[in-house]
Amino acid sequence: MMTSLRSPWLRLPLLVATLFLTACAGTQSRNTDPVNDPWEGYNRKMHAFNMGLDKYVARPLAVGYDRITPDPIQRGIGNFFRNLNYPVTGLNQLLQGKFDEFGESTERFLANTIFGLLGFIDIASMGNVPQHDEDFGQTLAVWGWEDSRYFVLPVLGPRTVRDTLGRSFYGFFHPISYAAREEGIYWPIAADLLQVRAALLPQDQAMLESYDPYVFVRDAWLQRREFLIYDGDPPELDYDAFLEELEE
Amino acid sequence: MIQTQNLWKAVTRLALTLVVSLALAAGLAAAAIAQDETPPDELVRNVAGTLLDDLNANTDVYQADPTQVEALVRRVLMPALDVEYSARLILGRAGRGATPEQIAAFADTVSNVLIERYASGMLEYGNREQLEVLPLRGDLNERATRVRTRVRMLNGNQLPVDYVFRRTDEGWKAFDVVVEGISYVTTYRNQIQPQVLESGIDAVTERLARGELELSE
């Protein structure tokens, strides 16, 4: 299982850098490779940088957190941060015209916040309220920006250009980034990054053992992203095309 | 009169025998077809049920000797898989010009790696997670179909796991597993293909078999 690193904030400088890079690359011909990764050279370098940062900073911290925090507490903290996503999810459901789902996300947020100790207990799941995952990057995809090139951000990791823009919008509305921006409270950001990294610890082995960790992370991330955009029901893979390649 | 009666009896007996044997034959044929044509969702349920029941019933045996789990997985799971088809999909254009023997050897090695990994996962999580098989969608007569399942994880999350099946002469067989939208075949392809193109299928098969080359899921 791969879980996307949800980092709901994005600083303005990053956005500017992205726009700049996008503008520079505007003249490049469209990549016909099935994986849209024309910036592979840059992406690989940034991936290596992020891996180094992870190895010496993020991972050791996450291992420490995982060791001293009992599982039920970790689950509660994970629930708390997940619950904070539902307002942004709901907003994007409205933008995508998914009104029933908007109702469910609102119900989730209210039930967990009011009756679930501010979200630490996932009351809504016990009541089988469906759970959705939306952000502005997905909304842009639903609106027609389906194919976007892969783009590795410093520290924050895998994105596409579309999702980089989407995250900045997302961050604007997210309670945690609101707290940082308006109140100057930064510890929730650090805490969220830490708990997300800790939840990914079981995946480390698979990634480190892979022949090409860059390709592994990229392909897994892009596939999961597509899965989320299509709300868990993406178009069937073209297996016949794989086979024809062999038999040609 | 008596003769007529006897004749009548004989005819009745013959007719009865015929009917019974016909019914039997039809029943057997139906059973044979049913055997071949177990719907894929039922196959998933059967395989998972057999594996979990066996694991739970013989926990001590398997804890003492984890290699037994591999044998169990091989026995129960393998007949439901089409590993050679998966191998062809993974190889793609990198497999052009490979002989059927080379492809079979490659498929064999990949499936060994998978079984090993699946078995250790089963031992670790097997009996604590719950599997829900969702109803099939679409037409069963198509050449391929997808069985959707939900695995309830320890932390309460539901993990979507899909199995992609194709119809073969020996019934439905799975050739890809898709976890949260991440396909094994696709992920392996992009890792394996460059190596096969670079050093050839035999060398890659050998490295896989020696455990020098790890695959990620």
Q: Does ipTM surpass 0.85 in this model?
A: no
Residue spans of beta strands (DSSP E) within A169-220 = none
pLDDT > 90: what percent of chain B? Answer: 13
Contact status of A78 with chain B (Cβ, < 8 Å): yes
Q: Is B144's CB within 8 Å of A239's CB?
A: yes
Cβ pair B187:A35 closer than 8 A: no
Q: What value does the mean pLDDT take over residues B102-120?
A: 86
A237 — pLDDT class (breaks 50, 70, 90): confident
Q: Which of B144, B156, B195 sits opposite A125 (nearest CB)?
A: B156
Nearest to B155 among A75, A212, A242 (CB): A75
Looking at the predicted structure, is the pLDDT value of residue B20 above 80?
Answer: no
Contact B187 A211 (CB under 8 A): no
Instruction: Select the more confidently predicted residue: B99 or B18.
Output: B99
- Summarize the confidence of residues B143-168 as an average pLDDT: 82
Which among A125, A206, A234 has CB closest to B216?
Answer: A206
| CA dist., res. B190 & res. B188, Å (int) | 6
Q: What is the pLDDT of residue B158?
A: 75
The length of chain B is 217
- Evaluate if residue A26 carries a pLDDT over 50: no
C-beta separation of B180 from B77 below 8 A: no
Q: How many CB atoms lie within 10 A of CB B157?
A: 18
Least confident piece of the model among A28-37, A144-153, B46-55, B174-183:
A28-37
> Between chains, do B186 and A223 touch, taking CB under 8 Å as contact?
yes
Q: Is B179 on the interface with A (CB under 8 A)?
A: yes
Say how far apart CA B9 and CA B15 lie, in whole Å.
Answer: 10
Percent over 90 (pLDDT), chain A: 44
Does the CB of B195 have a partner CB in chain A at under 8 Å?
yes
Which pLDDT score, from 0 to 100, does residue A18 have?
A: 46
Task: Check residue B24 and give its pLDDT.
Answer: 58
Residue B194: the pLDDT is 86
Give the residue ranges of DSSP H helices in B65-168: 67-77, 83-91, 100-125
pLDDT over threshold 70, residue A3: no
CA distance A55 to A206: 15
Q: Specify the pLDDT at position A34.
A: 61
Mean of the per-residue pLDDT values of chain A: 82
Residue B189 has pLDDT above 90, yes or no: no
Picking from B62, B82, B81, the residue whose alpha carbon sits closest to that of residue B72 is B62
B194 to chain A, any CB pair closer than 8 A? The answer is yes
With CA atoms as reference, the chain B residue closest to A219 would be: B187
